[in-house]
């Protein structure tokens, strides 16, 4: 007894400590310790860590101060103890924030077990320049040619520091792309700044902490400017300088001294520039030419003689359009070494990195001055093993590096990126060795939030390809492809993939930034361009499924992150778009002519193959279906925002469109006009089929799939929802058969053909190893990767029960051909996990529910008996899908007897 007492005495404090909640992962506007945000009321979030099950937050206290001591004199907001279970996106509501100021903040919470946390470790956010009046710098415009393919520009300014520095910040942006340096060192690690926005209305600036980069005495700030999206070739090859023909820089350095004084070093007429530097050509599509012999040693350091440099001009641009950086920065994310170096049959020296990626190659070389190394980029080799670039169209995507000689030289490009797996190398001195070439993967630095794995290696490879398709195309904006002369923010592609994207990565700020550009580019009548930022000369054309990005993406972000702010911000745009359709459709509620792209790239048999119908869907049906869906989502968004008048208005419109859709496109027997897979999918997904006909319509969809020997025929708009609709209507086995199909057209056909990303076309490479249409055949195009949403929600069972996963539904649908599936997702509250495994006729499910959330967990095919939770009997609510158990936070393991599920119900005959 004495030993037991001693054991309890020693372990009880540790047990209590483990159960005490800890507040961690503090973010402001989704970001950890951000610098330069211009939100006047930033939103604060945190997560709770505890080992105690069924933990819910009961109250919180936030305090914000201008120093980390949180003294009362420095405190600008203290909420006191607020009774609330909210821990996500709490709006700052204290004293008005000041520009260029760092604010520290902490949180403590109380839970439902009568435990109080300690104060969290301090986090901070730092404001940018909140008013145009805070900008004292002047736009400077170096003297430059207004021709295509001209050298990059270099600028410099020398200044003195004479007192002890407390802090120093630099705020910068450009028309074009810029890189900054201080005293010979690169400022920050962000790439391709200031990013791509609708430059006529919105221009981001970045803020950098350069406190440790300055020194007493003379200092130099330098900048390089490249064409980028602003002046370079964008769109379809023939477009150049869409936003302007001259590059400009705006740069403001703010130094705060220990004595309280502030010094500004601003871009102005005293800066000097040159175009005689080493970057002799740069372009998003072109690549970069770099002549190391033209490097100017010391140009960005003190003591340099800049007598030959030319003074810049000062110009005026509207500073009201400047916004603090809203998206996540573009970074170097990872590095990949070659897996093979070889010569093609025709003698081309080729390096294979084993992965189709977006970024560039770091070159390490030594040789004689004047030698030029040429690096070309390609996604694939042709059937003969030769380098293939025809699908890049006019994009040269080439690096030309001219050596300066005298030792080892290391080079990376500055103002470009390429999509590639292979490089062809010419002019390299000596043998190609792996240590001379490193692929640098570049994309927006979004935290990876989702993981997925299962017992089928090809499905795991498909998930790999989905993720890499996102990595390759989420580069400041959601591009369609990263390799050819396009790389545009196609609205339809982003719309169909947004839900899958939000599982793979934390995309809330990424989409919030881009959606503001969608609104900025919206036509006066409410239509939405095909691409955003809009640089296509298409007049004011809008297409259903593409324009609906204005409604679907904000609603998706709200569902995943419980972010009402994006609904509030985008609501005028959402409403204007639906009102645009209302006018186009008129009182018949059918949107004639609204679908310009139709179900893009739907399946078509060969030109002389009439053995089966193609997957064509009537475009007016597509347009009217999306009309119904967007009006419904707009009504729901109005309800969330408390706009009851609009909620009813657009609900009534939705019902009228639904009635018109049924009248025009659905027969009394449940047939959908055009009888295509996409027709059935959209009608069922958007709830446009009368309840009495849903079973028949779903059966006709299955009939089509079976008649094609378990092949899909859908394009961009039908594919994302195909498996989802099948599962929701009792045909998960059919969805699995489609997923596991390995012959064209299918998701696994490209995997079988060696794909490492998602293809633009189902048969980008044909079975005979020839290619589809070279004019439009990207091998890194994420749209068809939208099947990932079904994999996560149905295979693994991770579903949203309430916005932001405040309530979670875990309801997997196992299949006889899989022995396990596991997925995790990092919600705003913490990680949720769902895994199931079948072994020895026993189903074992393991789930994890984050603190401050609840969940309904359905054990598939469990009959309510013989269920054990952590080895002990447990019961729940049982129906035809299984047994559902309500859970609070914690980790749980369930096991019960398992038998193979029967095949799906029989298809209704014609």
Q: For residue 169, give both structure tokens.
A: 């910040």
- Residues 179, 198, 379, 760: which is the catalytic one? 760
Burial class (CB in 10 A: 0-12, 13-18, 19+), 268: middle
**Residue among 562, 590, 641, 583 nearest 801 (CA):** 562
- Phi and psi at 522, nearest 5°, equal -60, 140
Euclidean distance between the first and final Cα of the chain, in Å? 78
3-state secondary structure of 111: strand
**Which one-letter DSSP state was computed for residue 851?**
T
Beta strands of 790-907 (E only): which ranges?
Answer: 798-800, 807-810, 820-827, 830-839, 842-849, 854-860, 868-869, 872-873, 877-879, 882-887, 890-897
Pairing of strands 349-365, 418-426: antiparallel
Beta bridge partners of 438: 362
Compute CA distances 103 → 22, 34, 89, 208, 785, whole Å.
22, 10, 17, 16, 41
CA distance 195 to 559: 27
Q: How far apart are CA 744 and CA 740, in angstroms?
A: 12
Sign of CA dihedral 80, 82, 87, 93: negative
Q: Is 412 exposed, middle or buried (0-12, 13-18, 19+ CB in 10 A)?
A: middle
- Quick check: bond before 30 cis, omega within 30? no
The answer to whether residue 760 is catalytic is yes
Separation CA 296–CA 294 (nearest Å) = 6
Cα separations in angstroms, 171 against 26, 135, 139, 255, 265: 25, 9, 12, 12, 11
Task: Give the whole-angstrom CA distance, residue 658 versus residue 651.
Answer: 10
Contact by Cβ (8 Å): 376, 398: yes
Of the candidates 326, 486, 647, 904, the residue annotated as catalytic is: 486
Question: Considering all CA atoms of the chain, what is the largest pairwise distance in Å, rounded to the nearest integer?
Answer: 91
Tell me whether residue 486 is one of the annotated catalytic residues: yes
CB 517 within 8 A of CB 198: yes
Give per-residue burial for 856-895: e unless 16+ CB within 10 Å, then b: bbbbbbbebeebebeeeeeebebeeebbbbebbbbebebb
Closest Cα partner for 647 from 632, 631, 635, 634?
635
From residue 682, give the alpha-carbon distance in Å to each of 244, 436, 604: 42, 51, 19
Catalytic center residues: 486, 760
């Amino acid at each position: 007894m004495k030993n037991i007492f001693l054991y309890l005495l020693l372990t009880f404090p540790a047990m209590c400590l483990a159960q005490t909640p800890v507040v961690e992962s503090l973010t402001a506007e989704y970001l950890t310790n951000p610098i330069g945000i211009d939100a006047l009321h930033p939103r604060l979030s945190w997560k709770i860590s505890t080992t105690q099950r069924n933990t819910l937050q009961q109250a919180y206290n936030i305090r914000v101060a201008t120093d980390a001591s949180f003294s009362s004199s420095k405190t600008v907001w203290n909420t006191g103890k607020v009774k609330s279970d909210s821990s996500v996106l709490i709006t700052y509501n204290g004293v008005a924030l000041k520009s260029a100021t760092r604010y520290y903040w902490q949180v403590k919470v109380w839970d439902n077990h009568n435990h109080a946390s300690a104060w969290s470790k301090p986090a901070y956010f730092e404001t940018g320049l909140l008013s145009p009046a805070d900008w004292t710098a002047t736009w400077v415009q170096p003297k430059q040619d207004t021709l295509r393919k001209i050298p990059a520009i270099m600028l410099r300014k020398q200044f003195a520091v004479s007192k002890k520095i407390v802090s120093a910040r630099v705020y910068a942006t450009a028309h074009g792309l810029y890189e900054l340096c201080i005293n010979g060192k690169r400022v920050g690690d962000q790439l391709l700044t200031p990013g791509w926005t609708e430059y006529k209305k919105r221009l981001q600036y970045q803020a950098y902490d350069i406190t440790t980069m300055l020194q007493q005495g003379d200092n130099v700030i330098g900048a390089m400017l490249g064409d980028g999206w602003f002046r370079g070739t964008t769109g379809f090859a023939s477009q150049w300088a869409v936003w302007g023909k001259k590059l400009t820089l705006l740069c403001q350095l703010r130094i705060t001294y220990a004595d309280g004084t502030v010094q500004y070093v601003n871009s102005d007429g005293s800066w000097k520039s040159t175009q005689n530097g080493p970057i002799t050509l740069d372009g998003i599509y072109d690549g970069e030419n770099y002549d190391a012999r033209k490097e100017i040693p010391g140009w960005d350091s003190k003591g340099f003689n800049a007598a030959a440099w030319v003074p810049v001009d000062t110009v005026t641009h509207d500073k009201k359009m400047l916004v603090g950086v809203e998206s996540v920065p573009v970074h170097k994310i990872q590095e990949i070494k070659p897996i093979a170096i070889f010569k093609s049959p025709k003698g081309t020296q080729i390096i294979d990195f084993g992965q189709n990626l977006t970024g560039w190659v770091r070159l390490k070389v030594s040789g004689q001055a004047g030698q030029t190394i040429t690096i070309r980029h390609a996604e694939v080799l042709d059937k003969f093993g030769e380098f293939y670039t025809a699908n890049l169209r006019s994009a040269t995507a080439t690096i030309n590096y001219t050596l300066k000689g005298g030792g080892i030289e290391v080079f990376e490009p500055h103002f470009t990126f390429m999509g590639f797996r292979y490089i062809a190398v010419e002019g390299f001195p000596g043998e190609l060795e792996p240590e001379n070439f490193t692929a640098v993967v570049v994309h927006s630095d979004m935290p990876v939030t989702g993981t997925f794995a299962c017992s089928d290696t090809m499905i795991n490879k498909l998930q790999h390809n989905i993720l890499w398709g996102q990595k390759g195309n989420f580069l400041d904006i959601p591009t369609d492809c990263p390799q050819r002369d396009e790389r545009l923010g196609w609205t339809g592609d982003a719309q169909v993939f947004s839900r899958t994207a939000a599982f793979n990565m934390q995309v809330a700020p990424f989409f919030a930034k881009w959606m503001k550009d969608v609104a900025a580019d919206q036509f006066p009548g409410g239509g939405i361009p095909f691409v955003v930022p809009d640089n296509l000369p298409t007049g004011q054309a809008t297409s259903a499924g593409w324009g609906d990005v204005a409604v679907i993406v904000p609603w998706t972000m709200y569902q995943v992150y419980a972010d009402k702010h994006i609904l509030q911000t985008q609501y005028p745009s959402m409403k204007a778009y639906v009102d645009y359709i209302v006018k186009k459709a008129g009182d018949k509620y059918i949107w004639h002519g609204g679908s310009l792209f139709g179900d893009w790239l739907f399946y078509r048999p060969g030109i002389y193959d009439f053995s089966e119908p193609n997957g064509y869907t009537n475009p007016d049906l597509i347009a009217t279906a999306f009309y119904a869906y967007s009006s419904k989502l707009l009504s729901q968004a109005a309800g969330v925002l408390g706009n009851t008048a609009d909620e009813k208005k657009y609900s009534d419109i939705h019902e009228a469109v639904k009635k018109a859709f049924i009248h025009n496109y659905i027969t009394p027997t449940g047939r959908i006009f055009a009888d295509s897979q996409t027709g059935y999918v959209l009608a069922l997904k958007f709830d446009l089929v009368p309840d009495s006909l849903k079973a028949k319509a779903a059966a006709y969809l299955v009939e089509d799939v079976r008649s094609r020997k378990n092949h899909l025929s859908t394009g961009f708009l039908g594919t994302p929802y195909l498996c989802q609709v099948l599962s929701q209507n009792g045909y998960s086995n059919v969805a699995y058969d489609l997923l596991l199909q390995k012959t064209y057209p299918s998701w696994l056909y490209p995997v079988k053909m060696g794909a490492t990303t998602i293809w633009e076309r189902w048969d980008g490479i044909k079975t005979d190893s020839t290619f589809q249409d070279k004019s439009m055949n990207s091998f890194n195009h994420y749209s068809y990767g939208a099947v990932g949403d079904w994999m996560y929600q149905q295979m693994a069972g991770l579903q949203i029960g309430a916005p932001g996963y405040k309530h979670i539904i875990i309801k997997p649908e196992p299949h006889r051909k899989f022995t396990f599936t596991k997925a995790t997702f990092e919600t705003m509250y913490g990680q949720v996990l769902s895994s199931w495994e079948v072994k020895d006729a026993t189903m074992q499910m393991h789930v994890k529910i984050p603190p401050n959330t609840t969940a309904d967990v359905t054990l598939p095919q469990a009959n309510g008996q013989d269920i054990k939770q952590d080895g002990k009997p447990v019961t729940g609510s049982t129906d035809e899908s299984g047994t559902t158990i309500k859970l609070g936070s914690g980790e749980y393991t369930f096991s019960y007897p398992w038998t193979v599920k029967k095949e799906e119900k029989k298809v209704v005959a014609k």
